[in-house]
Structure 1
């Protein structure tokens, strides 16, 4: 594990593996760099895979003020990491929240990007997906062991996820929870709930994020969508394709929010994207 230091003094954890064109992997809202283990396994021989934990997640420091868990600050943290590594320009693979950060970077520091892959996220967030996230975010799971938690995941994610191998659920449990004597704990700061609750209030008008998406104009762009996603609708996907007819798209069957990135369609799309940015 390596660390960069944010502009407000937090240690930001990252891993840097492989060789080739740099691909920075940014995880989802409550997730961490371990979600990108399949990407490292598939592509570290042809790309430099840099995986990052956002502040308050995984091995990165928790912030004294949870309200710093926001997309603009997280985008600045990515730039801090790039400067720490001496990288002027990188491609980004962003899962959910990580994709929003990638779009923010396109709007604020476009010269640092060589291309973007969005994993099950777009400029319109379906309210049903936000409600589902608020059902669990910041709440400790009620399982005693990782094996118990893994066994419960298929039912929790049904019917959006089907035909998922037991080993994949076991990997997911290991990535999202840690096992201690008193049971499972979250691998992120529970106060993240305080930070996102106002933005996730579906009774208020949603911000217009299309300008952030449009800022990707001219960059190689790819989209992975879970066919059963409750966060990225088919209508939003269609509009993204209309605005960017050159965008690579893979819809992953039997997956909701978010695909694991080990699916053949996801692997093939990332491979084609790397051909465009290498």
Structure 2
């Protein structure tokens, strides 16, 4: 591991998931209306820490995930003095679904996250932590002129995405059951399709399942996301993606996390990211593919040691 992370951590232990209801830092939920062509839709978020903190972190999840994935990390950062905001992208979690599924894509996600920053009234610089799709959204915003992003943490994604794992992700979305008889069945599905997240314990899997499925009005449990988010991955629409122009335009420091067995962020892509673009620190996460779950204390410590206290 890079010597940058060898120093002692802040001493703040990550939140045990069964302690969430009695967490000793402020914990709020909120929402606002964002705009897509011919459509206003709800964007929901979880807001941790002191509202008056001048150091704000926005954490954005992956393609089929949601804001509560970040609970232990958000808690830890809030204990360090940060305000941490974790949104649900449109079509996920408690956010609204888009009427036109063709709009599920980076332009809309970046616009919605810019609207979140405006809604929160954030006037200073922010830090951004993004897993997979959340990392791509952060790259788009960080590459823009006059960006408010001062530091960027990217979890297992890069400016080149090979078509084969993208196709696999699309197949998995389209093949996902629309309904489970009970939450245990949904959790069993997660353990299979999210196995690349790394070795998680039973409590962590229960936490993911609890926020990944909602009770259906007709009985059973349905996935939290709009199935239409998978339309962009239909056969004939999947191709390799290159975003090197965005990467080269980023000037803020970057912490890059890569699952050691990741098929989406290839080792050669990560090598190229270190040769060009912004100043970057890279850490390989063992026993993970795409993407490290960031629920493990050691993974959380990598991020908190790099970011340091909010003061």
Gap runs ≥5 in structure 1:
none
Distance 1:61 1:167 in 2: 28
Aligned to 2:135: 99
Aligned to 2:301: 268
Aligned to 1:85: 120
Aligned to 2:244: 210
Aligned to 1:148: 185
Aligned to 1:4: 32
- Using a 3 Å threshold, how does the CA distance of structure 1 residues 64 and 133 change in structure 2: closer, same or farther? same
Q: Is the 8 A contact 1:221 1:273 kept in 2?
A: no
Count of matched residue pairs: 273
Secondary structure of 2:256 counterpart: strand
Q: CA RMSD in A?
A: 2.4
- Using a 3 Å threshold, how does the CA distance of structure 1 residues 62 and 130 change in structure 2: closer, same or farther? same
Q: Is the 8 A contact 2:261 2:290 kept in 1?
A: yes
Candidates 163, 169, 180, aligned match of 2:199: 163
Shift of 1:255: 1.4
Q: Is the 8 A contact 2:48 2:75 kept in 1?
A: no
Q: Is the 8 A contact 1:146 1:170 kept in 2?
A: no
Distance 2:199 2:89 in 1: 30
Secondary structure of 1:254 counterpart: coil
Aligned to 1:14: 45
| Pairs within 5 Å for 1:24-63 | 24-46=58-80, 47-63=82-98
Distance 2:234 2:146 in 1: 29
Candidates 65, 73, 80, aligned match of 2:108: 73
What TM-score does the superposition give when structure 1 sets the normalisation length?
A: 0.88
Gap runs ≥5 in structure 2:
1-28
What TM-score does the superposition give when structure 2 sets the normalisation length?
A: 0.80
